[in-house]
Amino acid sequence: MGLGPRLEFRQSQSLVMTPQLLQAIKLLQLSTVELAAYVEAELERNPLLERVDGSGEDDAPEPARAEQTAEPADWAGDELATDRTALERDLGTELGNTFDSDQPAETISQVAADQGNSLVWDVGSGGKSASFDDEGSNLEAYIAGTFTLHDHLDKQLGMAVDSRTDHLIGTVIIEAIEDTGYLGEPLEEIAARLGATMADAERILAIIQTFEPSGVGARSLAECLAIQLREKNRLDPAMQMMLDHLDLLAKRDFSGLRKLTRVDDEDLADMIAEIRHLDPKPGLIFGSRPAEPVTPDVFIRQAADGGWHVELNSDALPRVLANKSYYAKISKAAKDSEGKSFVDEAWTNANWLTRSLEQRARTILKVSSEIVRQQDGFFMHGVTHLRPLNLKTVADQVSLHESTISRVTSNKFMATPRGIFEMKYFFTASISAMAGAEAHSAEAVRYRIKQLIESETADEILSDDSLVEKLRLQGIDIARRTVAKYREALRIPSSSVRRREHQSFHKSANY
């Protein structure tokens, strides 16, 4: 058989992810705050993109809304859509398409007009912000910056070490310290990344652990408390033994602690009182990072006929359009090919962005409406009527891909008569029912477990087996290990710990 070069024709299919398609996919999963920042950046970059001031146009169209009446299923994870036609269908576009220059400008106000809705959270629309003057100055620009935990530690490090090497190691360790004050990365990994010895890393960490606030740089709760006690000169062998067995303290196993520490009841009570006066999260005195505001993407309101109005939050939708008249003006003025190419690309990107924003809004509305239809019992009666629901069920009903549903429901919130909920909240696993009845939502079962434990008395503390029996009487077929898992997720201690807490409470009350 001879070897040599030759030509062959092969036919194959592949998914081509164009920049425009990647942008449309990205917009789907952005939160309201992230979307506003993204659009703001595009407005600065693209001269043909223009903000629409949606303040009371007479010809503003009606807002996109849907009306639902009512009617299940396991959580399914996000899967990357690999089918080309599914992606094209979901995003309402064709791969590789560009927009013709004489195409009319699109605006997101086609989806939702400014209705002056009363919002749960007042967030300006279209990227507009509160100001002191007519130029739209940002109020945050007038507020002094906060002094963070890392700033405080960096300042102390500069006075504590002289060597540049030690300062570099200390800086990296400080960067790995979380807002709570704990070291969030193994010291071995930090040393390996810097090429430093463990001895040097341990030495610098020991220096940082002497900084204020006391307890900072600890790798565990026991070490954090030990640092604070050492500075108070109270870290004796008995106290160290207690710190080594904090699990017994959490369980209120005082007899076990007395045996280990070899102290009497009075000394043990003093030691526990000292620990209670310590700060388990010393870094929080500087505050944590600002919490991202939650802005509802959709409003759910009950209709007069008993159904539900599903309406987009128009104030949370950026209103932008592609300025066709300006495009026509500058395209004629462009002399060279480079200038014309820039103008054409800016026009295509502006049109694509407005269409992507419109498609995003319509997709959110469509998915929200289906969630309301599936979870009508929750909106009417509360969490005990939350039904099992997975991505596939919604995807099949709205003719979208599961990955699209996952992106749409990420970082999106619904303002309902029962409060603000993330869309992901309504997707819960299924728990079987007794005698072939309709399955129960895992979230509803967790709520029932919480109710049962809250209603227990000191004379009848419910074990996990007892909870299983009570749930089965309510028609829920559940295993003991599942009850234990849900109880732990709710941060509810075991029956033995709860029994000791009840006994301790009654003793102190009688005293």
321-347: pLDDT as tens digits = 888 888 888 888 877 888 888 888 889
Per-residue pLDDT of 130-152, as tens digits, reads 333 344 444 444 444 566 888 88
14 belongs to a structural domain: no
Dist. CA 449–CA 487, nearest whole Å:
7
Q: What percent of the chain has pLDDT over 90?
A: 17
**Average pLDDT, whole number, for the chain?**
77
Task: Specify the pLDDT at position 61.
Answer: 40
Nearest to 177 by CA among 216, 228, 223: 216
Asked if residue 321 lies in contact with residue 106, where contact means CB atoms within 8 angstroms, the answer is yes
Same domain, 125 and 176: no
1 inside domain: no
Range list of H helices, 111-197: 149-160, 164-175, 187-194
| 273 and 345 inside one domain | no
CA atoms within 13 A of residue 210's CA, in its CB half-sphere: 11
Q: Do 182 and 213 contact (CB within 8 A), yes or no?
A: no
d(CA 296, CA 446): 25
Confidence of residue 209 (pLDDT cuts 50, 70, 90): very high
pLDDT digits (tens, 9 = 90+) for 295-325: 899 999 988 888 889 999 988 888 888 888 8
190-223 core/surface letters (b: 16 or more CB in 10 A; e: else): bbeeeebeeeebeebbebbbebebbbbbbeeeeb
Distance in Å from the first CA to the final CA of the chain: 99
Answer yes or no: are the C-beta atoms of 494 and 452 closer than 8 Å.
Answer: no
Q: Tell me: do 124 and 60 sit in the same domain.
A: yes
What is the number of other CB atoms lying within 10 angstroms of the CB of residue 358? 20
Is the domain of 405 the same as that of 309?
yes
Q: Is the pLDDT of residue 104 over 80?
A: no
281 and 164 fall within a common domain: yes
| Residues 372 and 314 both lie in one domain | yes
pLDDT at position 83 over 60: no
pLDDT tens for 106-120 read 333 333 333 333 333
Cα radius of gyration (the chain):
30
Mean pLDDT (whole number) for 349-373: 91
- List, for residues 26-65, the tens digit of each pLDDT value: 888 888 888 888 999 999 988 988 888 754 444 444 444 4
pLDDT category, 184, cuts 50, 70, 90? confident
Do residues 388 and 492 share a domain? no
Residue 95 pLDDT greater than 50, yes or no:
no
What is the crossing angle of helices 84-91 and 337-374, to 10°? 90
Cβ atoms of 351 and 99 within 8 Å: the answer is yes
Q: What is the pTM of this model?
A: 0.55
pLDDT at 93: 38
Q: Into how many domains does the chain fold?
A: 3
State the average pLDDT over residues 465-471.
Answer: 90
pLDDT digits (tens, 9 = 90+) for 240-258: 998 998 888 887 888 888 8
Q: Are residues 437 and 370 in the same domain?
A: no
Residues 322 and 412 grouped into a single domain: yes
Q: Taking the CB of residue 106, how many other CB atoms lie within 10 A of it? A: 21
Using the 3D structure, point to which of 255, 286, 317 is the last residue of a domain: 286
Instruction: Pinpoint the alpha helices (H) of 251-336.
Output: 254-261, 265-276, 324-333
pLDDT tier at 121 (50, 70, 90 boundaries)?
very low
Q: What pLDDT score was predicted for residue 14?
A: 66
Tell me how far apart the alpha carbons of residues 418 and 232 are, in angstroms, rounded to a whole number: 49
**The dihedral sign for the CA sequence 368, 370, 373, 377:** negative
Residue-range definition of the domain harbouring residue 53:
19-129+294-425
Is residue 337, in this structure, part of any structural domain at all? Answer: yes
Residue 115's closest CA among 125, 106, 107? 125
Same domain, 321 and 374: yes
- Are 63 and 156 within one domain? no
